[in-house]
Structure 1
Amino acid sequence: MELSPLTPLKQSGDVLFLMLGAVMVFAMHAGFAFLEVGSVRKKSQVNAFVKILTDWSVSTVVYFLIGFPLAYGISFLKPADQLMQGAMGYDLVHYFFLLCFAACIPAIISGGIAERAKFWPQVIAGAIFAGLCYPLFESLIWGKNAALLQGVFKSIGGLEFHDYAGSVVVHSIGGWIALPAVILLGARKGRYQHGKSHPLPISNIPFLALGSWILAVGWFGFNVMSAGNLEKISGLVAVNSLMAMVGGVLAALVAGRNDPGFVHNGALAGLIAVCAGSDLMHPLGALVTGAIAAVIFVYGFQFEQEKLKIDDVLGVWPLHGVIGTWGGIAAGIFGQKIFGGMGNVSFVSQLAGSLTAVLFAVASGLVVYGALAKTVGIRMHEEDEYNGPDLAIHKIGAYPEDHIR
């Protein structure tokens, strides 16, 4: 069959489209870094930056060699000229784009375990999650093995599980994996004393806000570019992402009583929740979805910290785990035509898929962190934790001139 003269132009356009999306999502990892740096104490800022960059780099290698082939059955262990055969190397840039999703898993976990986790055991854990655990679940929802699990959801709810841009596949998985890690690590020294909560101060609200803004801007690459090519781009996805973000900000502003941490995380809560159904919902449905997500985060964070006494530094379990689950379920509600959505989505399938992810993630977190805790250990020595991971691990603080005598 003879190709159209426009085919090379279309193929190169799709490669450029997806590459720009990959770069936007890659930039979100700077957002993860600044969000964590602003939320920890000064003695842990350098560690946050180095952790995120190291996890990104390790994820790049393991997802290239193991994760992407596991999820999609495409291997890059062949000569470069063969990698470029057909579609202008689209598979390569597709790997880059989806790597940015996989690398979110250790980045999410990093915020929960901050200030007291050993460095190298966490690097190992991140490699396992980005190279094995996450790609396995990815393959069952989006990849080469999707027919297996999606067939189960279809038999239960009448339709397959729908997760357009990863509320469940990315965020829920990352947040629920983090929960066992945070619990096994235990609270930071001084966080809870004699059964009472003693919140530890954060170091830098402008950095926290900068992290939120970087993430929010990059999120439009996360959601919109999930179309995969120019033909499928959707203005509905873009506006739904915007509305969910704004809904999260406004709801957090009220529920969090003007607290800047809640406001900036409220934006992220809305964006996390809308990922799954951003191609289905009416913009007003997305607004409500984001608002509910922010309320879940505000009260969920307080419940986690004060009632359950779980020292999840950035609140990644309620923010990514619980709200990611809400996003999967919300797609089954506000994606329905009765709420102005596109339809062709099953609430039962969405509920089943969202809960399946919870079970998979918690089991993965327990196995990996349980094994590391029993072998190499996952918590810093008490003296190192007191001095802070910046000096204990990296031998330099965030503000070196402060140490000049």
Structure 2
Amino acid sequence: MELLTTNNVWMMICTALVFFMHLGFAFLEIGLTRQKNTINILFKNIFIITVGLLLYCLVGFNLMYPGEFNGVFGFAGFGLDSPLTAEGALDLAYNEGYTYWTDFLFQGMFAATAATIVSGAVAERMKIVPFMIFAIIYVGVVYPIAGSWKWGGGFLDEMGFYDFAGSTLVHSVGGWAALIAVYLLGSRIGKFKDGKPQAIPGHNIPLATAGVLILWLGWFGFNGGSVLSADPELTSITLVTTCLAAAAGGVVSMLVSTAIYKNLDLTMFLNGILGGLVGITAGADVMTPTSAVIVGAIAGALIVFAVTCVDKLRLDDPVGAIAVHLICGVWGTLAVGIFSANPDHSFLTQLIGVVSYAAICIVSSFIIIFVLKKTIGIRVSEKEELEGLDAHEHGMDAYPDFRLNEH
């Protein structure tokens, strides 16, 4: 009973840290965008976490962990109460090392993250209602079905695919949707001039910096909790590899971006840290500290080139979500097949997993967003975009005493 209590307390602490990450995402997104859209971004973030938890309770948890199923799709029923008696829940707790209820809450925090990634990518020009509809479907249905393929004991799990804490299951699931959304939505007014990308500075870089540091702290729970116990050795090495990859990602992205652009870009530095964190997430428990530094360093370099590539493709991603979560998520997943200390992990299996998630995410997000585009529309009018979504979508101003003329 004492071990169960220790494990359960650790899992609850990690749950709180992952919840805290949503504040980090909110700070990062509003910091890297213009002040006239601050309320809109904050509204979306609050909507995602509240509705996401309710959806995960209603259908998501039992879609993601259906028990015995065909490996592709299963559903254990609506709600949390029906499948378990109190005695059954306690038996499960002894078997798993933590309670059924803690498991739900920890996994529920992960579910909302996928839609939050999309929120930043579509900032400043997507209508709020279509985004809410997309988030409901993606978090409520697509994410848990995709998650069941690995974490629910599905066909990828049986193949030996490995994703410790979600480089693919969380980050690239959000990243693929972000890519499709940005493509269908189009770029912000003024982002490209004569085919060349123009800088649209964020209004509060100190807030964005605070957001990244909060996310780094939250990753202690994101990866540390994915050990699913308070095992001292596994939790310790996981936190070490996580931190080293983040540090390496930041430093390398700073060096590479400085070498290319001849200026010390703080936003590239910050995204490099996040890239390192995303990259190590798939294999944080099966890599040595040295391997973690290498994985993070490569992720940091990839960030710089990915941001440039996204711009060349005339895709407008205000916060760098595609570069951070998609590109580094894919890299981190494949890196398990290269650097894992477990000989059973193979590069080919990891690649199959990456392709499988790309398929379900690209197809599902395209269908959802394309249908919304052709029915209710997904983009605000030119007037609304120029004057800001806060005023037109919410009738509010985040900084009423410090209004600036932004265009």
How far 1:382 moved relative to its partner? 1.9
Mapped partners of 1:236, 1:12: distance in 2: 22
Q: Is the 8 A contact 1:18 1:93 kept in 2?
A: yes
Matching residue of 1:308: 313
1:106-121 paired onto structure 2 within 5 Å = 106-121=115-130
Q: How does 1:188-207 map to 2 (within 5 A)?
A: 188-207=188-207
Measured against aligned partners, the alpha-carbon deviations of 1:62-113 in whole angstroms (never above 9, x if no partner) come to: 1110100111136414499738841398111111111111100110001100
Q: What TM-score do you get using the length of structure 2 for normalisation?
A: 0.90
* Structure 1 unmatched runs, 5+: 1-6, 155-159, 336-340
- 2:154 counterpart of 1:150: no
Task: Indicate how the Cα distance of structure 1 residues 83 and 199 shifts in structure 2: closer, same or farther if over 3 A, else same.
Answer: farther
C-alpha separation in 1, matches of 2:180 and 2:54 = 25
Check the 8 A contact 1:47/1:394 in 2, yes or no: yes
**Residue 60 in 1 paired to residue 53 in 2?**
yes
2:14 is aligned to 21
Residue 139 (structure 2) aligned to one of 116, 130, 133: 130
- The answer (yes or no) to whether the contact 2:161–2:350 under 8 Å persists in 1 is yes
The answer on whether the counterparts of 2:89 and 2:99 sit within 8 Å (CA) in structure 1 is no
SS in structure 2 opposite 1:383? helix
Go from structure 1 to structure 2 and tell me whether the alpha carbon gap of 1:66 and 1:79 turns closer, same or farther (over 3 Å shift). closer
Task: Report which stretch shifted further, 131-140 or 357-366.
Answer: 357-366
Match of 1:297 among 274, 286, 303: 303
Aligned-partner Cα distance in 1 for 2:43–2:54: 17
Output the aligned Cα RMSD.
1.9
Show structure 1 runs of 4+ deviating over 3 A: 77-85
Q: Structure 1 CA distance, aligned partners of 2:380 and 2:403?
A: 23
Q: CA deviation at 1:361?
A: 1.4
Contact preservation (8 Å) 1:325, 1:355: no
Distance 1:272 1:187 in 2: 25
Contact 1:111 1:314 in 2 (8 A): yes
What secondary structure does 1:250 align onto?
A: helix
CA distances 1:317-339 after superposition (whole Å, capped 9, x unpaired): 1210111000100111111xxxx
- After TM superposition, give the deviation of residue 343 of structure 1 in Å: 3.2
The DSSP-based 3-state class of the residue aligned with 2:402 is helix
3-state SS, counterpart of residue 314 of structure 1? coil
Matched length: 382
- 1 CA distance for matches of 2:205 and 2:325? 20
Tell which deviates more after alignment, 341-350 or 240-249: 341-350
Q: Whole-Å Cα distance in 2 between the matches of residues 403 and 299 of structure 1?
A: 35
Query: CA deviation digits over 1:288-339, x for unaligned, max 9?
Result: 100100111111101211x11101111211210111000100111111xxxx
Amino acid in structure 2 at the alignment position of 1:250: V
Residue 388 in structure 1 maps to residue 388 in structure 2: yes
Asked if 1:90 corresponds to 2:99, the answer is yes
What is the 5 A alignment of 1:1-400? 7=1, 9-73=2-66, 75-78=79-82, 82=86, 85-86=89-90, 87=93, 90-144=99-153, 146=154, 148-151=155-158, 154=159, 160-231=160-231, 233-257=234-258, 258-305=264-311, 307-335=312-340, 341-400=341-400
Mark the runs of 5 or more structure 2 residues left unpaired by the alignment: 67-75, 259-263
Paired with 2:35 and 2:389, the residues of 1 have a C-alpha distance of 10
1:129-171 Cα offsets, whole Å, 9 max, x none, are 1110000010111104x1x3334xx3xxxxx001001001100
One-letter identity of the residue aligned with 2:245: A
> Given that residues 56 and 111 in structure 2 are in contact (C-alpha distance below 8 angstroms), is that contact kept between their aligned partners in structure 1?
yes
Q: TM-score, normalised by structure 1?
A: 0.90
